Structure 1
Amino acid sequence: MQPVCRPRYQGQGLGRALMLAAIEHCKGKSEKQAIWLNAAPNAIPFYQAVGRISRSNQQTLPQGFSAMQFLL
């Protein structure tokens, strides 16, 4: 399934609010005290703005993808 892009909803803080709520919900529930994800190239600026930190990754990712983490 191809993701749906709705430009009229972008830039309103909805994604940021959801991401911050998810981070808050996960606090205290992970031994690693982090959320790890592999970001698609078009999502990297969003995750950077929310406060992600790049991390090392042993797996091979598709070209342009970036391994990231959010500290809890």
Structure 2
Amino acid sequence: MEDHSRELLNRYQYSEKVKEAAAFRVLFGGEDAKQIMQELGIQNVKTIHHWWLATSKKLSKGLYLYLPLSAPQL
């Protein structure tokens, strides 16, 4: 039983990089959370929404730094 529980936990854990990338796709790419969920094989769209909310909070607190965009990037 313990091995099964550990396997389930490992299967549904995602790196911070994956979480942030998915959240940025929703925040800045305007992509649908449901589409991202399906692409990444995530079981519940609320997971993406949770990542989006956490990333939004980090952005509002200034925990991410962005380099200024040059004219061609704007």
TM-score bucket (shorter structure): under 0.3
Which protein is richer in strand relative to its size? 1
Q: Bigger relative contact order, structure 1 or 2, given CA contacts below 8 A and separation 6+? A: 1
When Rg is computed on C-alpha atoms for both structures, the one with the higher figure is: 2
Provide TM-score, normalisation by structure 2: 0.26
Provide TM-score, normalisation by structure 1: 0.27
